[in-house]
Amino acid sequence: MPWINPRGSIRKSLLTLLLPAAIALMVAAWIVHGLLLERMARGFVEDRLQDEVAFLEHQLRQSGSDEIRNISAGDYFEEVFHHAFAIRVGEQVHSSPELWAPALQPLLAEARSGFVRQTHTEASAAITDFLAYRKALNLEGEPVVIVVAEDLTTLQHSQQELHIWTAVVSGILLILLLLAIWQAIRLSLRSVAQLQQGLKSLQTGDRHRLNMDAPAEFQPLIRQLNLLMDTLDQRLTRSRDALANLSHSVKTPVSAVRQVLEDDTRALDPEMRQHLAQRLSDIDHQLESEMRRGRFAGPQAGKAAQPVSQARDLLWMMGRLYTDKNFELESTLGPDTRWPIEEHDLNEILGNLLDNAGKWAARSSVLTLEDSGNQLMITVEDDGPGVDPKELPSLGTRGVRLDEQTPGHGLSLAIAREITERYDGRLRFSNRATGGLSVCATMPRERHG
């Protein structure tokens, strides 16, 4: 709706919608009540008039032909009848009470049956608004016209009074309804205040996760926030572990170089210079590896992954880092396909697996992306020397390196395994029949955690 600001207050938006709706419904109910009251009152009067005309007709038919004129001209009907009426038998006309005679006697001139509604605006008129029922019949050869009428003025006054009282009661109910709406909105939005307080407690460190005891509408939001907190905590843990491993790896060569440089009694011969250069090269490789991993990860957190697009970007980067090797992508997924994995985490899985394959591949490495509907699969294969089958179970363990001659910390596969397991997945290693290592990461589409 254009008058609702999506960035505005929820309370204001609800009131903007509910208050006019409640007022409109009450007004509509009041109007319908007036129409129904008018229809019911008119129907009641019409039924009474028809019944009394039938009573008059019955009495006249019960009288003999000689008594019809005497009954119609006498005071019999005045004694047992309470409506205004007029009767024409032949040329003889009788009406009661006399006050109604000017209004009813003109109706006797027509011999048509049916209801007649007349309203007189003249100030001299004694009866200003009435409803009459006229019936023409033939009794004993005599033409007879019967008219029975009821003054609607008193009935309308009663209707108006009842309608006004209905409006008063409706107004009171409307006020109570508005108060109930306000209270319901206030109580419903109390959960938002509790959520805000929970976020403040997270910020101050009083709690580690948001309380799941919240309305059903907030459960997905709280679940996603807790998952985001899990992601950030695990990312921080990985960063600390990587920093600790890097510090430990760099500390030894830095201490060795420092000792040599601080030794004033010993000259730097070519062999020693070469040794120092090698140590500094090791440090440079280690720092470059960590910086590369940071580039793989990217800055995004909480953003859904686009596996094909991200894989292509990483394969291009790997081609620049390992210029003598070929990296290929095999997948039937569309370029706009999204996986329920954070972009940062998928980048780390793909980047670490491809980096490991790039180190060991002889000429090429193949990345395969598959989606079976309920399971996501990432497979990276290289044509390198492979791994001793006895060592396969130890792959993916933090700090384990099967070849100390290759630069690295033994973290790439461990990080990929930890992220995969966090998504309730599994990282498996196997040797290819044609040679080389195959690493397969499988993750369910729906997480259980």
Tens of pLDDT along 184-238?
A: 878 877 777 777 777 777 777 777 787 767 777 777 777 878 877 877 777 777 7
Tens of pLDDT along 349-362?
A: 898 899 889 888 98
Residues contacting 257, CB < 8 A, separation 6+: 276, 279, 280
Return the CATH class of domain 11-156: alpha beta
Phi/psi at 353 (nearest 5 deg)? -65, -40
- What pLDDT is attached to residue 327? 92
- Helices 307-321 and 270-297: crossing angle in degrees, nearest 10, is 170
Mean pLDDT of the chain: 77
d(C-alpha 149, C-alpha 400), whole Å: 109
> Cα 295 vs. chain centroid, distance in angstroms?
37
- What pLDDT is attached to residue 328? 93
Average pLDDT rounded to a whole number, residues 68-86: 57
pLDDT of 149 > 80? The answer is yes
Average pLDDT rounded to a whole number, residues 78-100: 74
pLDDT of 74 > 60? The answer is no
Tens of pLDDT along 164-188?
A: 888 888 888 888 888 888 888 788 7
pLDDT of 407 > 50? The answer is no
Assign residue 120 a region (left: φ > 0; alpha: ψ between -120 and 50; beta: otherwise).
beta
Annotated domain spans of the chain:
11-156, 207-296, 298-449
Q: Which helix (H) or strand (E) holds 386?
A: none
Q: Which amino acid is at 420?
A: T
**Greatest mean pLDDT range, 132-146, 151-165, 253-267, 325-339:** 325-339
Lowest mean pLDDT among 95-104, 158-167, 280-289: 280-289
Q: How confident is the model at residue 406 (pLDDT cuts 50, 70, 90)?
A: very low
- What pLDDT is attached to residue 268? 67
Average pLDDT rounded to a whole number, residues 295-323: 75
Higher pLDDT among residues 297 and 152, named by residue: 152
Residues contacting 174, CB < 8 A, separation 6+: 22, 23, 26
- What pLDDT is attached to residue 344? 77
d(C-alpha 208, C-alpha 242), whole Å: 23
pLDDT of 98 > 70? The answer is yes
Q: Are 144 and 125 in contact (CB under 8 A)?
A: no
For 106, 108, 128, 314, the CA distances from 102, given in Å and listed in that order, are 7, 11, 12, 104
Q: How confident is the model at residue 330 (pLDDT cuts 50, 70, 90)?
A: very high
Tens of pLDDT along 112-135?
A: 888 888 877 665 556 778 888 999
For 137, 187, 352, 394, 414, the CA distances from 423, given in Å and listed in that order, are 94, 37, 17, 21, 15
d(C-alpha 292, C-alpha 26), whole Å: 68
Torsion of CA 293, 298, 300, 301, to 10 degrees: 0
Paired strand residues for 330 = 368
- What pLDDT is attached to residue 409? 40
Tens of pLDDT along 3-37?
A: 555 566 677 777 777 788 888 888 888 888 888 88
Share of the chain above pLDDT 70, in %: 76
- What pLDDT is attached to residue 303? 62
Tens of pLDDT along 47-61?
A: 888 888 888 788 777
Q: How confident is the model at residue 340 (pLDDT cuts 50, 70, 90)?
A: confident
pLDDT of 332 > 80? The answer is yes
pLDDT of 365 > 90? The answer is yes
Higher pLDDT among residues 125 and 307, named by residue: 307
Q: How confident is the model at residue 377 (pLDDT cuts 50, 70, 90)?
A: very high
- What pLDDT is attached to residue 290? 61
CATH topology of domain 298-449: Heat Shock Protein 90 (3.30.565)
d(C-alpha 308, C-alpha 441), whole Å: 16
Nearest to 308 by CA among 359, 376, 360: 376
- Cis ω for the linkage preceding 340 (within 30 of 0): no
pLDDT of 246 > 70? The answer is no
Q: How confident is the model at residue 285 (pLDDT cuts 50, 70, 90)?
A: low
d(C-alpha 119, C-alpha 180), whole Å: 46
Tens of pLDDT along 409-446?
A: 456 788 888 888 888 899 999 998 888 899 999 999 87
Which token pair is 428? 């498996």
Higher pLDDT among residues 287 and 87, named by residue: 87
